[in-house]
Structures are given as structure tokens and as C-alpha cells.
Amino acid sequence: MPFKSDKGVKIEFLGDSGPFSKLGQSICYKISYEDSSYLIDCGAAVFSELTGDTINKLDGIIATHSHEDHRRWFVDIALFRFYVSKPQRHLRLIASETVLEEFVKTSRAALERTLSMDSRKVVEVPFTTFVDPVIFGPTANYRIVKTRLEGEEGTVWRVIDKRGKVVSAKRAKVVVHPEANRPRMIFRDFDTNRWVEPESYYPFNHKRFYTQDQNPYSDPKTGITFEAMKSTAWHGPFTTSVRITTGDEKIYFSSDTVYDPALWKDMATEIRPQKFDRSRKEFDNAHILYGEINDFIEQTWSMDRYERGMSLYKDHVLVHDAAGKNSIVHTDYEIIANSGHEKLLLTHSPDHFVSQFPLTLSGKSIRVIGGEYFEEVNGELWPFDADVYFKEFSHSFVGYKTRNGPYKVYVRNGLLDIVRSDAEFEGEELFKVALYADINGVYLPRIEDPKESYIRRRGRIFHVRYTKSGGKLKAMESIRGQVCKKQRNRL
């Protein structure tokens, strides 16, 4: 049965859709703990989900990476707080060193030039007038800069150390793709002498490449702590996963990743030869290389990164992205579903998706208390006890096993789907279910007739039947308690 509690960490899903969703909801999670509130990413249209007062009271935004479906409302939030709500403190942006640099680059054009208060002049406004940037995670001891060298005209790319000294070409080089024209670093590992890309190769705890201060961000009011993790984040642009801890709760956001332990181990053990059209001596002496960086990398991951990544998932409630088959930059459902992780909430999923683990949907609220998670519905906390969860665009359904259920769940090529029991299908049938509509945690009978639907008005749910003369409304009450009771009796 449900219970009431305001303990633990509350997660509100403001956006949870997969990339290129027809719903366009993108990604955004509101994290609340006691009197603190933060957003993890801000890709969703927050102004339709949150009040101005709530946006004004946010304690910060945690940014995982710079893909637009995770960041596209950042500038609007910064502008709103500065010009409209005018809070006493700047918008706090919490991100790793690299992600913070990306946000500054991509946001400056919209933030740093405006009109004066009398509208007569174009004026410059520094980024830090709008935003208080905070680094979480360690900083690198080596970085790429453009510098002017004695005896050379113009500026050139070089790798420098934390003292500002140019690093020997035998230790570090800059690689520039001739078309992308973006500098990336390769580094000769201290222990193996192999050339690696340090951004990919080293975990954050590596003593020689990173500072040893991990820079976790702790809320000064409540102590809730956010830590940047890199070992499991494998996505393309530099991405950090996020670990949230309180005195009792541990929550891990994968923040877009290819979760695949077998692939990870291959990347940590495979050694490949370099490919370049020059002599070894020329390569050793060159500070700058032009070409494809993967031709120069000898090993993708370190074993340290692999082992650290494998350990990070233990004892956490996992909010993890999920996708279909061969998704390339996200996690295939088949792999994460068979990973052995039990405390899973799957997010960032496609418009049509079936799972045996709970699926998030915009508008849902989850509360994590200790090591358990519950769905919060009208102030009550309910366990997740359905046998299957089904997302169809903005509609959500739950299924409970029953011998003569009107629907059947089947698996094909590692993916689940649901059809009517009398329908033909290709794949292996797993079990039959009764399906119920799930409207932000309120369970109701599933509607089959296209002339009927559920609508929400002033916090209530109504059944409406459309006729030639209009629609007839009927207030509905949740049957979740009855459904759960049936489930317990069946077991």
C-alpha cells in the first residue's frame, strides 16, 4: 500500500525523450532535497514545466555535456533570471572543466551582447554577469593552447603543463583534423609509453594527468553532493555522469552512454598499431599533426578506467538512458536489461518502448529513500511492481501478468514489444498481461475506443466520450491500489 513521506531525494522528470523524438521534450531532471533544488541538464522547455518562482529559486544547473537536447534552454534560463526575475545571485552552472568551456563557447553569442537600459547603445556584458560558473571534477594538468613562439610568426597550437611550460613533442601532441579544424590532444602514457587520447584514456582519479582534488559540489544548505564521473561516460562529446549522495541516498545518472562492459574491456585491452605517412623521427619531433586522431592512438581506454567504471554502478539507484538496437551512442536495452542491475529507472528512451524496468516520462516524480525508489503520486509513494512498462509517445501503460491477458509481451532481436493476444507476430512470447493506462502514476483502465480518451483538468482526470453533440465528462479515480492488490494476490 502507498505511504507518505517527504524524506530522501525527489526527482521530477521535466523531459525524458530520446534524441530526435517527435514530442521534442528532450532531457531535464529537477532534483530536490530538503530546501535545495537543482536541474540536471536543461534540454526540456522548462518554462512550460516550472513556474517563474521555481526557476528563480533553483540552486544551480548541473550540465553533463553540450548536446542541444541536454542544454538548449540554458541561455533562456540565464536571461530570464537576469532580466525578469532578477534574483540576488547569479545562475550557478556546475560542470566539469571541459563541459564548462563548451557551455561558455556556445552561449556567449546570446549572452554577451545586448542593448543598454535606455536602448540607445549596443553594450558588452560579461558571461559572469549572468552565470556563476563552478567546476566539479578535477582539472587537467595539461591543456591545449594557442601561443606565440620565439622566431615564429603568428600563433600555433601547443600542449602546456600546469606551470604554463610547453610540453615536449615526445610527451604530447596536438592533432587537428584538416576539415573539422578542432585541436585534440594525444599523450604518451607514463607507464606504457603508448600514445593515447587522455580525455578518453584516463579516469578522473589518474594522479599524473589530473589534479587530485575531485571537486565535488556540496550544497551549502543541505549537504546534498554532486560528483562528476567520467569512467562510464562514453558518448562522443566530452560527457560526465553524475553521482548524487546524501547521508542515506546514492543515485547515479549515466548521462548518455554506451553501457557495454564487453566493449569497455575490449577498449581497455586492445593495442593497435599507429598509421601515419611519415618516419618515426618526424612523428616524434612534431608538435602538431594533421589527420585522423585514431590513426595515432594505440589504446582507447586504460584498464584503470574500465575497472573504475565497472565499480561505479554498485549500490546505486540508476537513472540510465536506454535505446533500441545498435544505437551507437546510447545504451541498447538488451544489454542494460541483462546487466544484473536491479534498481534501474530507464530514461531518454524512444517514443515507442517496452521494458521490464520502470520507464520515466515527463510529468512523473520519483522519490529515492535510502536504497529504494518509489513513484510519488498526489503526495503518496507507490512501489514499482508492474511486470512490464510501455511508452507510446506521450502515453504510458503498465502491464501485469495474467494467464488469459488480452495482450502478450514478446521479444525479438533483444527488444520487447506488445501486441493483442490474438495478433500474429515474429518473436518469442514471454507472457500475457492486462494493460492499464498510467497517467503520471494514476492507473486507469486502458481505452480502446478512438472516440474516448482521458483528459486532465485542474489536477483531476476525466474520461471523455466524444459524440456528435459534444463530449461527455466523467471524473475518474485511480485503480492503482486495486491493480496492486490483484498483483499481490496473484503472487
Residues of the chain with pLDDT under 70: 151-152, 485-491
Instruction: Write down the domain spans for the chain.
Output: 9-137+214-256+313-382, 142-205+275-294, 388-490
Pick from 328, 344, 332, 356: nearest CA to 417:
356
Give the model's pLDDT for residue 168: 97
Nine-digit cell string for 378:
498526489
Q: Cα–Cα distance between 346 and 18 in angstroms, integer?
A: 11
Nine-digit cell string for 337:
536489461
Residue whose entry in the numeric block shows the C-alpha cell 560526465 = 240
Give the model's pLDDT for residue 24: 81
Q: What is the CA radius of gyration of the chain?
A: 26
Judge whether 398 and 386 are in contact, CB under 8 Å.
yes
Give the model's pLDDT for residue 489: 53
- The total of other beta-carbon atoms located within 10 Å of residue 357's CB is 20
- CB-side exposure of 464: number of CA atoms within 13 Å? 14
Pick from 268, 260, 197: nearest CA to 232:
260
Nine-digit cell string for 26:
528532450
Pick from 461, 386, 65: nearest CA to 256:
65
- CB-side exposure of 114: number of CA atoms within 13 Å? 15
Residue whose entry in the numeric block shows the C-alpha cell 578518453 = 200
Model-level pTM? 0.95
The domain covering 9-137+214-256+313-382 belongs, at the CATH homologous superfamily level, to: Ribonuclease Z/Hydroxyacylglutathione hydrolase-like (3.60.15.10)
Give the model's pLDDT for residue 330: 95
Nine-digit cell string for 59:
540552486
Q: What confidence tens digit (pLDDT) does each residue in 174-210 have?
A: 999 989 889 999 999 999 999 999 999 999 999 999 9
Judge whether 436 and 444 are in contact, CB under 8 Å.
yes
Give the model's pLDDT for residue 491: 42
Give the model's pLDDT for residue 487: 61
Residue whose entry in the numeric block shows the C-alpha cell 474516448 = 452
Give the model's pLDDT for residue 87: 75
